[in-house]
Amino acid sequence: MLQSLIKYLAEAHRGAHGFVMDENGNPVERAGIRVKGRDVTYRTTKYGEFWRILLPGTYRVEVTAEGYLPQEVEFIVIDNHPTLLNVTLHSAKLKITNELQRIDGGPYYRPVALPPRASPAPAAAPGLFSSISNSFSSLVSNIFG
């Protein structure tokens, strides 16, 4: 019975987990995570955390949230190693510049709007969840080989 429970817990840590944050490092609650080619969308917690049990392979996920530009990320799941996948979403709000643009060559002008600039994603820092997962994976490997 105990071995069955340990095997089940090992399966729960297979796949991908991580956090969805905005460009300021704030968690994005209820962001949608959908593996491309599948119909089910999963939601992040109030801390922006998500996890998904996946078999080893290459996957592409689409991450969406209201008020943010959608993001697609490709990643690889390796057997017996949970994949840490942190995603940064950028605001969909347009920024107005001080420039004016002539409308159709006529006498009227409009402000020029620029799309939000994508800032480079910060390097993934190991968190408590990944530390626990790595320790648990080591324990399972030691017990079951």
Question: Average pLDDT over the chain, rounded to whole?
Answer: 79
| Burial of 3: CB neighbours in 10 Å, binned 0-12, 13-18, 19+ | exposed
pLDDT at 30 over 80: yes
Buried b (16+ CB within 10 A) or exposed e, 69-104: eebebebebeeeebbbbbbbbbeeeeeeeeeeeeee
- Tell me what pLDDT residue 14 has: 81
Percent of the chain whose predicted confidence (pLDDT) is above 70: 61
pLDDT in tens, 91-117: 988 665 566 666 677 776 666 665 555
Closest CA to 45 of 30, 63, 61: 30
pLDDT band at 2 (very low <50, low <70, confident <90, very high): confident
Going along the chain from its start, the domains and CATH numbers come out as 2-138 (2.60.40.1120)
Give the tokens for residue 49. Answer: 């955390």
| Overall pTM surpassing 0.85 (yes/no) | no
